[in-house]
Structure 1
Amino acid sequence: MRLKLAFLVATALVATPSFLMAQEKGGVVNVATIGEPPTLDPMTSTADLVGIVTQHIFETLYTFNKKWDVTPLLAESLPEVSADGKTYTIKLRTGIKFHDGSDMTSEDVIASLTRWTKLASRGKQAVGFIDTISAADPTTVTIKLKQPYAPLVSLLAFNNSAAIIIPSEKQADTMTDFIGTGPYMLKERKADQYIQLVRFKDYKPRSGESDGYGGARHQYLDEIRFVPVPDPNTRVEAAISGQYDYIDSLPVESFDKVKASKATQPLLLKPFGYPVFVFNTAEGAAKSLGVRKAIRQALSMEDMLAAAFGSKDFYALDGNIYPASFTWSTDAGVKGNYNVADPEGAAKAAKAAGYDGKPIRILTSRQYEFHYKMAQVAAEYLKLAGFAVDMQVVDWATLTQRRTDKALWDIYITHSPFLPEPALIGSLAPTSPGWWDTPARKTAVDAFSAESDPKKRIELWANVQKAMYDEAPFMKIGDFNAVSAISTKLQGVDPAPWPYFWNASIKK
């Protein structure tokens, strides 16, 4: 499903790297990230930080090109799909080696996809539709479905809760050997200091031009180091001083300061995505639909966005899950349920819903400073509505661990880029933290997932969004633009929601 416009509608790179210059091999790039990833196993995490790092080590059968169409990566071509939409035949590339020197075959793919359906939230999302995964020969994999499932290839392409291909003998539930097929391999990880990746000499890139996450992945750099810098103000100062070559996720108010730097320039991704408050629908106060709706009624999305991003250059008030520039945009369910900002009415609604006065536990992190600022505003509105609030501020790795425990929270704050396929939205899966699992969800999501006709899928997506607003498993706050920074010496880095550094090089 194409978007009306490209994923990144506008990209402001103040100092545009010279892509016309020959890119030379060699050098080390240091990337400042928002913190320490909770794991290096991308199957078991939906954290963007995990995907950013591990996409250099591991690869999937498919990925996305710059138009956000699915394109082959470890697969030789797009799958052949039977007329009834239930059999996918996938031809694999040959000559692909893992970092341990072994060759990739269909045996590895079958074992990896089986692990994915067992451990990954997105794999669990797909497993109910899968009948069998088998090998016709060493270079051919066949997936047979119980019924048509349109999002399958997009799920196989996503680097988040990713269907990575790893050796068949490395399939333990807890990954200890980080062996992939990617252009860079793990050399050393020092907790809270760095993750060091080095060039994999036997990497076999695809032929042709680079194309978003697809196409050729060139290995110009000798080494990539991901360095955790949890404090956002420290990341800003590091950007201004040129301490790192790429700095991820800067507070938007730093844009002009970074622009004035001679060493580094800001990178604006517009529109990037949306902040979201996820409810725990399984346990605690937010298990009650009435309480969830009362919380939503109390909040001013406009005030939260203003506190988080300041200037409207960096945010837009919008309750549609997808903004108007996307094919998927619909206002189904939004009216009367978004940006209500009615604490007094919310107090009455909460009382009618049986709210018992226990604190609403809001789980957030300052590593994404805009999460924390929104949490502060939300807490004040909730207090005005008579809710007790327990704001728990932790590091991002801890948050991603705690959100998996139903007993520990009522709301956690996160964000998502606008995804090319709505079925990739994590909260649609009943196994995702939040655990939205109702008959209305199943009816709407299953109908949307089973439909292959693009026009009908757009109509069915409106039903899914309406179910989201009717049952309030989460709240979209609005749209926002993201700011990162890039060294004036670094070239070949395309703006992307999950920045990647194959194809990157250092100007000599």
Structure 2
Amino acid sequence: MYIEVPDQTTRVAALQTREVHIVQEFPAELLSRLEADPEVALYDNPPFRLLGHFNHVRPPFDNKLARQAMIKAYDNQKALTLATGDPAFTRLCPSLLQCGTKWETTSGSEGNYYAQNLEEAKQLLEEAGVTGAHVRLMDPADRQPAHAAAQVSREVLTALGFDVDFQVMDWATMVAQRARPDDWEFFHTWSGVTVRSGPVGHLLFSELQYDAWFNNYQDLPGKQREIYSRLARATTEEEQIALNNEFHEYFYEDAIFLQVGEFFSRWAASTKVQGIVNGGSAQQKPFDKWLTN
């Protein structure tokens, strides 16, 4: 039985009192408590990508200079560390495709990714004419990775001079709100390895597509669609790698979304639960096949 427990502290307490057998997410500050519990085991997942989405059809982020400013000013490492509680479970990664693979690339990221260049970012906002603009930042407090990144985004947006409306909510509320383009400007989410395994599949990732899903990416120059068309017809790996690099240049130029980096999440479970393994998205068996003593 899957039980939704929105409050993360309550979630961990329920595991330690054995009211539940597994928790999938928990706040970083409670990690040491779980590590010290001899009846709790921790399991590592493959790397996830933490990211932030701009609303491309509303000011101020319908202007690419505003999007570039947010990316240039961002403290990626701080967000990743808050998401996990341990820098060892993070990886700064400017690549859209998974770092450590043959598809990893830094194209377009120099001076943009983890630049923490607040002054240059402010200049971009002045040029765009959006300094002091109102930004509704959604914070799903019950989902630790996005919640952690939202804290950093609040700091960065405030430092840039935006008028930040920090909206704390649960994940379900955020999902409903992000479906309404008039009701938000920025939020965080994350994605797994399946959408980052190869360039053709990744460019089908909805947030990178024209007029896409919740971020309504506009691809005003039409370059994303043009590069994808060539990539889909590429017949050699060398062509695909070259086109992947070309797309990354455009990704940072158009500032499609905020690439925060990679993090390695953990599940916590009662030691009585069998059938969970490290590294395989934690879950090896279907929920109804796990065994408890």
Query: Is the structural similarity TM-score above 0.5?
Result: yes
User: How has the CA–CA distance of structure 1 residues 353 and 457 changed in structure 2, closer, same or farther, with 3 Å as cutoff?
Assistant: same
**Match of residue 23 from structure 1:** none
Following superposition, the deviation at residue 402 of structure 1 comes to: 1.2
Aligned partner of 1:436 in structure 2 is 217
Deviation, 1:476, is 0.9
Separation of aligned partners in 1, 2:70 and 2:87: 25
> What residue ranges of structure 1 are gaps of 5+ in the alignment?
1-224
> CA 1:254–1:453 in 2, change beyond 3 Å: closer, same or farther?
farther
Match of 1:491, SS? coil
In the alignment, the residues of structure 2 paired with residue 360 and residue 450 of structure 1 have an alpha-carbon distance, to the nearest angstrom, of 40
Structure 2 residue 251 is matched with structure 1 residue 468: yes
Q: Are residues 1:491 and 2:266 paired?
A: no
Task: Select the structure of larger CA radius of gyration.
Answer: 1
In the aligned structure 1, how far is the partner of 2:242 from the partner of 2:282? 29
Q: Following the alignment from structure 2 to structure 1, what is the Cα–Cα distance between the partners of residues 252 and 271?
A: 44
For the pair 1:351 / 2:126, whether they are aligned, the reply is yes
- Which letter does structure 1 place at the counterpart of 2:23? I
From the two aligned structures, give the one with the greater helix fraction. Answer: 2
CA drift of 1:279 comes to 0.8
Retained in 2: the 8 A contact 1:284–1:409? no
Unaligned runs of 5+ in 2: none
Contact 1:253–1:309 under 8 Å retained in 2 = no
TM-score where L is the length of structure 1: 0.52
Aligned-pair distance for 1:455? 4.1
Q: How far apart are 1:313 and its partner, in Å?
A: 1.4
Contact kept in structure 2, 1:330 and 1:462, CA below 8 Å: yes
- Which residue of the other structure, out of 39, 62, 65, is the alignment partner of 1:263? 39
CA distance in 1, matches of 2:281, 2:238: 27
Q: How does 1:1-400 map to 2 (within 5 A)?
A: 225-270=1-46, 272-355=47-130, 357-400=132-175
Q: Which residue number corresponds to residue 206 of structure 2?
A: 426
TM-aligned CA deviation for residue 483 of structure 1: 1.1
Secondary structure of 1:345's match?
Answer: helix
Q: Which amino acid aligns with 1:338?
A: Y
Letter matched to residue 160 of structure 2? A
User: How many residues in Structure 1 have an aligned counterpart in Structure 2?
Assistant: 283
From the superposition, tell whether residues 446 and 502 of structure 1 become closer, same or farther in structure 2 (CA, over 3 Å).
Answer: farther
Report SS of the residue matched to 1:374.
helix
Instruction: Summarize the alignment of residues 441-460 of structure 1 with structure 2, pairs less than 5 Å apart.
Output: 441-460=224-243
> Residue type matched to 1:493 in 2?
I
State the match for 2:290 in structure 1. 505
What's the secondary structure of 1:415's corresponding residue? strand
Contact 2:73 2:116 survives alignment (8 Å):
yes
Task: Give the superposition deviation at 1:333.
Answer: 0.8
Runs of 4 or more above 4 Å deviation: none
**Partners in 1 of 2:215 and 2:121 — Cα distance?**
22
Q: Give, in whole Å, the separation in 2 of the partners of 1:497 and 1:293.
A: 33
**Inter-CA distance 262–424: structure 2 relative to 1 (3 Å threshold):** farther
Counterpart CA distance in 1 for 2:78 and 2:245 is 27
Match of 2:264 among 481, 486, 489: 481
Indicate which of 170, 188, 191 corresponds to 1:413.
Answer: 188
CA shift at 1:293, angstroms? 1.0
Structure-2 change in CA distance of 1:379 and 1:352 (3 Å): same
The residue identity in structure 2 corresponding to 1:228 is: E
Answer whether contact 1:444 1:467 (CA < 8 A) is retained: no
AA partner of residue 11 (structure 2): R
CA distance in 2, matches of 1:226, 1:507: 15
Shift of 1:324: 3.4
1:285 offset after TM fit, Å? 1.2
> How far 1:399 moved relative to its partner?
1.0
Partner of 1:96: none
Look up the SS of the partner of 1:313 in the other structure.
helix
Cα distance in structure 2, aligned partners of 1:502 and 1:241:
20
**What do residues 132-170 of structure 1 show as CA deviations (whole Å, max 9, x unaligned)?**
xxxxxxxxxxxxxxxxxxxxxxxxxxxxxxxxxxxxxxx
Aligned-residue Cα RMSD (Å) equals 2.3
Where 1:361 maps in the other structure, the secondary structure is strand
State whether residues 332 and 466 of structure 1, in contact with CA within 8 Å, keep that contact through their aligned partners in structure 2: yes
Range that drifts further, 316-325 or 333-342: 316-325
Larger RCO (CA within 8 A; separation ≥ 6)? 2
CA drift at 1:501: 1.6
The DSSP-based 3-state class of the residue aligned with 2:25 is: strand
Q: Structure 1 residue 494: deviation in Å?
A: 4.0
Residue pair 1:344, 1:384 contacting (<8 A) in 2 also? no
CA-to-aligned-CA distance 1:326-353 (integer Å, 9 cap, x gap): 2221111111111121222222210111
Q: Deviations over 1:225-270 (max 9, x none)?
A: 1100111112222222332222112234434422332433111124
Identity among equivalent positions (%) equals 23
Which whole-Å deviations, capped at 9, do the CAs of 1:442-483 have from their partners, x for residues lacking one? 112232233354443233222222221111110111211101
Amino acid paired to 2:215: G
Please give the alpha-carbon distance, in whole angstroms, between the structure 2 residues aligned to 1:251 and 1:444.
40
Checking the alignment, whether the CA contact within 8 Å between 1:252 and 1:482 is kept in structure 2 is no
Provide the residue aligned with 1:210 in structure 2: none
